[in-house]
Amino acid sequence: MKKEFPKAFESHEIEEKWYQNWIESGIFKADEKSDKKPYSILMPPPNVTGILHFGHVLNITLQDLYIRMKRMNGYEVCWFPGTDHAGIATQSKVEQELRKEGLTRYDLGREDFTDKVWQWKEKYGGIILKQIRKLGASCDWDRTLFTMDESASNAVREVFIRLFDEGLIYKGKRIINWSPLAQTALSDEEVEFREVSEHLYTLRYYFPDNENYLSVATVRPETIFGDTAVAVNPQDERFVHLIGLEVRVPLTDRYIKIVGDDYADPKFGTGCVKITPAHDPNDFLVGERHNLEIINTINPDGTLNEFTGEFANLDRFIARKAILKKLEEAELVEKIENYTHNVGFSQRGGEAIEPYLSDQWFVKMAPLASEAIEPVLSGEIKFHPNHWVKTYEHWMTNIRDWCISRQLWWGHRIPVYYAPDGQFTAARNENEAREKLNLSADTPLRQDEDVLDTWFSSWLWPLTTTHWKHDGEIETTEIMNKFLPSDLLVTAPDIIFFWVARMIIASKHFKNEIPFKDVYFTSTIRDGKGRKLSKSLGNSPDPLNIIDKYGTDAVRFTMLFLAPLGQDVRIDVDVEKQDIPSIELGRNFSNKIWNAGRFILMKLEAEEGEIRGEALSADELSLSDKWILSRFHSTVKKTIDSLASFRVTEYSKLLYDFIWRDYCDWYVEILKVQLNHSESVEYKQKLIRFAINLYEEMLKLLHPLMPFITEEIYHLLDETGTRRSISLEQFPQTDEGLINSEIEANFDLAQLIVEEIRRQRASMNIPPSQKLPVVLKVKNKASLEMFEALKNVIASLAKISELTIDTDSQKPEGAVSSVVREIEIHISIATAIDLDKERLRLEKEIERLERNINGSEAKLKNEKFVQNAPADIVQYEREKINSLKETLQKTRENLKGL
């Protein structure tokens, strides 16, 4: 039966065809009623505002690898997908759209604005999930959850109420990260610190009725109107006698006390620190310790307020310049120095965040964290790499309360209701709130205006994705019973605290269950300069463009090949072309696999008789067949071990080495030799069937990483047209009985012999078409038998006209010789080249190499060169000498052989 196996591998058509086939056939769907052993993964929900980036590519590929592998191993797999409502980011997107119409959210009102956001979400919110499909993700898409779906929202409300009733949620004044642009609190993970060059201003704080003053250094003179103390270190002998005295705040008539506090660092600035409790988290703590007044001098929009007098309503940075000018006019500035420090910026709006004192809702984390530490320390939950356990333990044992309120309209509204007299409680609705507060049915109530931090829904992800029932009582579901705890979480290490830790806390507290068994922390993708791939830096091409150029399989394979566990990935990016040339590695690998499959199918079709037939039996296998079978099962064994310990780069390299080198470069060539040396059609058919069977097992081993090309070839090799998806076939298992380390070692020696003969020929410019006589002198009978069994293979692959193998041969005249593991190789070249001309060429080459070596050595002996030249240039010269000496040695050996 003739099979249409195209000459070239075209990824685009294949990817669309097979993904649609997988969806329609329902192979991604999970059955919680199945009696199969479960395996599940929770997809970290991408923001609905998001688009695919290379972090997603690596993350999704890793998850899909394990889902597909477990599906092939007969597990009932479920990969739970979903998206996050991304409070600040999504609201900002919609507000940007409104501004184009000259409107604000306040023009619409809360209800209409929220409707507008829902409309935006329905239109654009699923884009990233569509992009994730391009990666071949085999999720159960019917289970896609949005963090503001009704079931998830109910869970969020229920959890808030329970924690409130347990006394673990409270409202209080704290210094939080504040976004003047979005006018909301920000979580720590939404703040990006950058190194900023500013100035350190040393100001004069005068004593009452005295010309003496304290020199106080600050980076933010615009906050002086909120100063309520100056702190000095009680161990600092320069100032200890001043503790308790007062100084005047510059540009004001207010006097503040000098307090002794360890927070003041004698080595920083002048050793005197202005304390502004409303505008710095450390100052706030100093204020609590010394019972200081708190004066807030900045408005929510980042302008100064009425406490700053003439500077009121000025933007904080404009006010800084105006205040500085006034201070200089009053001779209150002692000096100004350049100062570089880290400043927090909003990841959403890009503006500098403002440490801001405000009423916010908090969760008491210490009581909750205590029950979530043990599962990680005991190994019930395993981190990969393991060193993150120490980081987790340190953070959890020093955990701070979590600010969960956000001043937004998009999100889960805080379920707290206030009575006219100021009483408040958390409740599912107004009637329940009145009952809890013992109020009459007609008492008006007001619901809190704020919404919850987006992470407050994300930390419930293991529960909400498995449809946790939570109507007042904790109930379970079939899905939860089947798939919780999930098996694997793949995530970035930078959210170990904000998400991973909190999911463990929530699952332990509300379900008394761990949320997952293994956590794989992915690498950070960086460019050749070590910078994180970022659209803002212009060093991150659109992954969809890269997929279109190279194909999904090539991108998936290359990303895992380059991403070792626990290490960042560096890839070269062509910024000008917005390309990643290293993905060529994956495309070349795809082409190699494709061409090998096409070749063996063509060979099978070229033979007479029925295509469908038996493969070689065990006693019909040649030494080469036994070798490739042994190498395959050795690879399977190592592959299974690598995947079990999450060494995915090792898995990809094992497959690359076996498929490219062992199967394609060696066995396919050996197959040609064996076919050419046999007259039996039956043997040829059996041999090719053996090669195809092994090739198909190889495809199954590769399928979890490269799903599209393996599915396509698997069906191209189907003579009956009745095959099911390769996704449902058994993942290869190790047959220890077929692993023969002795055969592998012997064949490795034969490969080295062939490679040495090829090297010798190439060094003398002998064309591949010209075959030469070769003598192999071996030491023992066992080696003799092995080489005799491989005689045809070695002769064909090394272009040998006559191969002599014995234990006592002498070097023939006109031959060059070399030794590989005590095997002497004599290649007769007298008839292939003009010996006199070759000697002359080699002598000139030796002279050239010696001159270059002497020149490089002279450079390195020159102390000025070594001391003044860049380190990489010096290292290059050293490496160059080593390379030249190695080439010189081989050239001298060739000349000696002549």
Cα 176 to chain centroid, rounded: 29
DSSP reduced 3-state for 459: coil
Count other Cβ atoms within 10 Å, centred on residue 765.
10
- Answer whether residue 410 shows pLDDT above 90: yes
Q: For 804-809, what is the mean pLDDT? A: 85
Q: What is the pLDDT of residues 708-766, one digit of tens each?
A: 999 999 999 988 888 999 999 999 999 999 999 999 999 999 999 999 999 888 888 88
Residue environment code for 369-397, b if the CB has 16+ CB neighbours within 10 A, otherwise e: beebbebbeeeebbbbeeebbeebeeebe
Q: For 17-45, what is the mean pLDDT? A: 96
For 171, the enclosing helix (H) or strand (E) is: strand 169-179
CA atoms of 378 and 397, how far apart (whole Å): 15
Q: What are phi and psi of 311, to 5 degrees?
A: -95, 0
What is the DSSP-derived secondary structure letter of residue 413? B
Q: What is the pLDDT of residues 63-110, one digit of tens each?
A: 999 999 999 999 999 999 999 998 888 998 898 899 899 998 999 999
- The answer to whether residues 486 and 462 touch, using CB atoms and an 8 Å cutoff, is yes
Q: For 352-379, what is the mean pLDDT? A: 92
pLDDT at 471: 60
Count other Cβ atoms within 10 Å, centred on residue 493.
17
CB burial of residue 841 (10 Å; 0-12, 13-18, 19+): middle
Q: How far apart are the first and last CA of the chain?
A: 55
- Answer whether residue 802 shows pLDDT above 80: yes
As a dihedral over the C-alpha atoms of residue 598, residue 600, residue 604, residue 605, rounded to 10 degrees, the angle is: 20
pLDDT at 828: 86
Average pLDDT of the chain is 90
pLDDT band per the 50, 70, 90 thresholds, residue 607: low
Biggest CA–CA distance in the chain, Å, is: 116
pLDDT at 879: 83
The pTM of this model reads 0.84
CA angle in degrees (0–180, nearest 5) for 249-253-255 = 55
Query: Of 462, 459, 521, nearest to 490 (Cα)?
Result: 521
- Answer whether residue 894 shows pLDDT above 90: no
Within 13 Å of residue 48, how many CA atoms lie on the same side as its CB?
Answer: 32
The stretches of 562-583 forming alpha helices (DSSP H) are none
pLDDT at 472: 53
- Answer whether residue 609 shows pLDDT above 60: no
Count other Cβ atoms within 10 Å, centred on residue 177.
19
Per the structure block, which two tokens stand in for 209?
A: 């009725």
pLDDT at 573: 86
CA atoms of 548 and 537, how far apart (whole Å): 22
Cα 380 to chain centroid, rounded: 23
Q: 80: which residues sit within 8 A by CB, 6+ positions away?
A: 40, 41, 42, 43, 139, 140, 143, 145, 465, 466, 483, 486
pLDDT band per the 50, 70, 90 thresholds, residue 232: very high
CA atoms of 592 and 550, how far apart (whole Å): 14
In 188-332, DSSP assigns E strands to 191-206, 213-218, 229-232, 246-248, 255-260, 272-275
CA atoms of 395 and 323, how far apart (whole Å): 40
């290649």: which residue's tokens?
Answer: 827
Q: For 578-589, what is the mean pLDDT? A: 92
Within 13 Å of residue 136, how many CA atoms lie on the same side as its CB?
Answer: 33
pLDDT at 2: 54
Cα 547 to chain centroid, rounded: 17
Question: Which tops the pLDDT comparison, 855 or 24?
Answer: 24
Count other Cβ atoms within 10 Å, centred on residue 861.
9
Query: Of 197, 216, 195, nearest to 205 (Cα)?
Result: 216
Q: For 482-489, what is the mean pLDDT? A: 96
Q: 358 pairs with which residues across the strands?
A: 174
Query: Of 144, 56, 48, 131, nearest to 88 (Cα)?
Result: 48
Q: 194 pairs with which residues across the strands?
A: 343
Query: Of 427, 251, 424, nearest to 330 (Cα)?
Result: 251
Q: What is the pLDDT of residues 682-719, one digit of tens each?
A: 899 899 999 999 999 999 999 999 999 999 999 999 88
Q: What is the pLDDT of residues 328-353, one digit of tens each?
A: 999 999 999 998 888 888 877 788 98
Query: Of 562, 483, 498, nearest to 528 (Cα)?
Result: 562
- The answer to whether residues 120 and 49 touch, using CB atoms and an 8 Å cutoff, is no
**Percent helix, strand and coil across the chain, each to the nearest 5:** 50, 20, 35
Quote the percentage of the chain above a pLDDT of 90: 65
Q: For 840-866, what is the mean pLDDT? A: 85
Give helix 11-25 / helix 707-716 axis angle, nearest 10°. 90
Quote the percentage of the chain above a pLDDT of 70: 97
pLDDT at 608: 53
Per the structure block, which two tokens stand in for 382?
A: 């395993």
- Answer whether residue 275 shows pLDDT above 60: yes
Question: Which tops the pLDDT comparison, 527 or 396?
Answer: 396
For 488, the enclosing helix (H) or strand (E) is: strand 486-491
CB burial of residue 86 (10 Å; 0-12, 13-18, 19+): buried
Query: Of 562, 566, 710, 663, nearest to 69 (Cα)?
Result: 710
pLDDT at 211: 85
Q: What is the pLDDT of residues 129-144, one digit of tens each?
A: 999 999 999 999 999 9
- The answer to whether residues 628 and 694 touch, using CB atoms and an 8 Å cutoff, is yes
- Answer whether residue 611 shows pLDDT above 80: no
């999911």: which residue's tokens?
Answer: 503
- Answer whether residue 459 shows pLDDT above 60: yes
CA atoms of 341 and 200, how far apart (whole Å): 10
pLDDT at 1: 47
Handedness of CA 637, 640, 645, 650 (dihedral sign): positive
